[in-house]
Chain A
Amino acid sequence: MPVTEREQLAAAGRAAGLRLTAQEVADLLPAWKRYLGLVEELRAAMAPEDWDDGG
């Protein structure tokens, strides 16, 4: 179970089929964290919408 952000990123990379070295994971980490922050901001900016399970 990946615990640290670095481990989470390495696991996500493996799941996506990327062959990341430990150094590459370290290089990607700051930009990945910024990306996650931006997505979180986008999510917060979208007003919640009413929806149901009706398809």
Chain B
Amino acid sequence: MTAVEALTSAPLVEIARSLRRRKVSPLELVDAYTQRIERASGLHAFITPPGERARQEARQAERRLSRGEAGALLGVPIAVKDLFATRAIRTTAGSRILRDWVPSHDAAAVARLREAGAIIFGKTNLHEFAYGVSTANPWWGVARNPHDPTRSPGGSSGGSAIAVVAGLCAGALGSDTGGSIRVPAALCGCVGLKPTFGAIPLEGTIPLGWSLDHAGPLARTVGDAALLLNVLTGFDPGRQAGRASTRGVRVGVLKGSIVQKVQPRVSQRVDAAARALRRQGLRVREVTIPEMEWTVATQLVTLRAEASAVHSRWIRTRPRAYGADVRIRLQLGALVAGADYVLAQRMRGRLRAAIGRVFQDVDVLLLPTTPITAPVVGERSVRWRSGEEPVDGALVRLTAPFNLTGLPALSVPFGSAAGLPVGVQVVGQWMDEARVLAVGRLIEGLAEEERPV
């Protein structure tokens, strides 16, 4: 393996450093990634792979590097979920409806990546219009988990997670309305960060649910996610995280009925993470939030109504231009009564208050990102002792509460179960990304020594 090939799967911060020190050129890197993308085409990670345009951007970055210019991501190839508008690059939202749309402007998040010197490295596959968690896209290919192609990568940012894990880019941009960054990060085995609501601007991002949508990074390490967060927010929570001490941090491990329906192999990993944090001097205790029981219903009503409003015209005039699952969700959303939406917002307020009370006694929450490891592609339901649960609902049951509340939430890989990655989720208070990242970095460091035998 050549040095540049080895670098393709390295942490982003290492890639950026190698570029700055001129140990590798952006063009060499782009070409190495491009070859890998061609070899991994069966995973359906990309809707629009990086083409000649990425090579042009690499040449420009090379000239800037040779002039000694600075830029946190100068020459670093970043893949972008195809929900974010990209100037002069087709943006489909994973749909047939927008298959030929070529925006004239970049989304705000993409513009920030470019300002930092990133090479916009292709547009990644997603669940159609980001409305689902399988990335089984009827128009652009069924995305596959790089650990086991018979299994789902999760979604809706499935292509971004695949690209990060399979070494097809240095880092990626995703979006998260119910778990769409954290779920694929957990199922594929990378880091995924949903920051505080509003921390990253969403102008130029095709909405799904206005009150729930977040943008955020998917990355190979917590440090990479922190760097991308700095660029995307325009301030430096990631840098603060590097300086933050975790000693004495109060960790609430979520218990109660909401985490009863979790595969034992997943809950064992979360318990192992909690034990490891305690050994590091963090103050770990158990907490319960019974109101989380209403997450799925509250999220469902809220999102159905909001998504249906986004798609109000097309779902009435072009219903058959949507894939079957998304069409059904949007049609059902058109039937949500105003009173039901208000009911869901009242429950949302109750959930926010309940979590707020818990945060009076803890600094971060620790819980599984998903109750299950990657399901087989096409699997519809999960069987628990208490009955069956739809896979889609199960996958977002533990992530959606933090879309409803807007709190920052990070998924960090913490080993594997039966060969499939397990993600643990760290949740912090409003705008407290620095502490979330600091605890995440600690968990990441402990993952190796806690590897199951």
For A32, list chain B residues within 8 Å (CB): 332, 335
What's the Cα separation between A19 and B346 when bound, in Å? 32
Question: What's the nearest-Cβ distance from chain B to residue A13, in Å?
Answer: 7
Give A41 to B296 CA distance when docked, in angstroms.
11
- Contact present for A27 and B328 (CB under 8 Å): yes
Q: Are A42 and B347 in contact (CB under 8 A)?
A: yes
Q: Are B298 and A18 in contact (CB under 8 A)?
A: no
Chain B residues closer than 8 Å to A54, beta-carbon distance: none
Identify which of B300, B301, B328 contacts A28 (C-beta below 8 A): B328
**What is the minimal beta-carbon distance from B393 to any residue of chain A, in angstroms?**
10
Q: How far is the CB of B334 from chain A (nearest CB, A)?
A: 4
A24 to B315, CA, bound (A): 13
A3 within 8 A of B: no
| A20-B331 contact, Cβ under 8 Å, with A39-B340, A45-B347 | yes
Report B-chain residues with C-beta under 8 Å of the C-beta of A12.
335
Q: How would you classify the secondary structure of chain A's contact residues: helix, strand, loop or mixed? A: helix
Q: Give the distance in Å from the alpha carbon of A51 to the alpha carbon of B447 in the complex.
A: 53
Asked if A46 and B343 make an inter-chain contact with CB atoms under 8 angstroms apart, the answer reads yes
B138 interface residue, CB < 8 Å from A?
Answer: no
Taking a contact as CB atoms under 8 Å apart, the answer to whether A24 and B331 are in contact is yes
Docked CA distance A17–B350 (Å): 33
Contact in complex: A28, B347 (CB < 8 Å): no
In the assembled complex, how far is the CB of residue A17 from the closest CB belonging to chain B, in whole angstroms?
A: 5
Would B335 and A13 count as touching, CB distance under 8 A?
A: yes
Q: DSSP class of B's interface residues: helix, strand, loop or mixed?
A: helix
Given the contacts A13-B335, A19-B316, A35 and B328 also touching, CB distance less than 8 Å: no
Counted as pairs of residues, one from A and one from B, with CB atoms less than 8 Å apart, the total is 58
Contact residue among A9, A19, A39, A43 (Cβ-Cβ distance under 8 Å from B319) = A19
B332 touches A42 (CB 8 A): no
In the complex, A22 has a CB within 8 A of chain B: no
CB distance A18 to B315 under 8 Å? yes
Residues of chain B lying within 8 A (CB to CB) of residue A28: 328, 331-332
Encoded as 1 (CB less than 8 Å from any B CB) or 0, chain A from 8 to 42 comes to: 01001100111110001001100110010011011
How many residues of A sit at the interface, in one of the four size bands?
20 to 34
List residues of chain B with CB under 8 Å of any chain A CB: 294, 296-298, 300-301, 304, 315-316, 319, 324, 328, 331-332, 334-335, 340, 343-344, 346-347, 350
What residues of chain A have their CB less than 8 Å away from a CB belonging to chain B? 9, 12-13, 16-20, 24, 27-28, 31-32, 35, 38-39, 41-43, 45-46
Contact B301 A42 (CB under 8 A): yes
Structural contact, A41 and B347, CB atoms closer than 8 A: no
Q: B331 is contacted by which of A18, A39, A46 (Cβ under 8 Å)?
A: A18
A-B contact pairs, 14 of them (CB 8 A): A16-B335, A18-B335, A19-B316, A19-B319, A24-B331, A27-B324, A28-B331, A31-B332, A32-B332, A35-B332, A38-B300, A42-B294, A42-B298, A42-B344
Which of chain B's residues have a CB closer than 8 A to the CB of A46? 343, 346-347, 350
A9 to B332, CA, bound (A): 10
**Contacting residue for B301 out of A18, A19, A39, CB 8 A:** A39
| Extra inter-chain contacts (8) besides given A16-B335, A18-B316, A39-B297, CB under 8 Å | A28-B332, A35-B304, A35-B332, A38-B300, A39-B343, A42-B294, A45-B294, A45-B347
Contact A13 B331 (CB under 8 A): yes
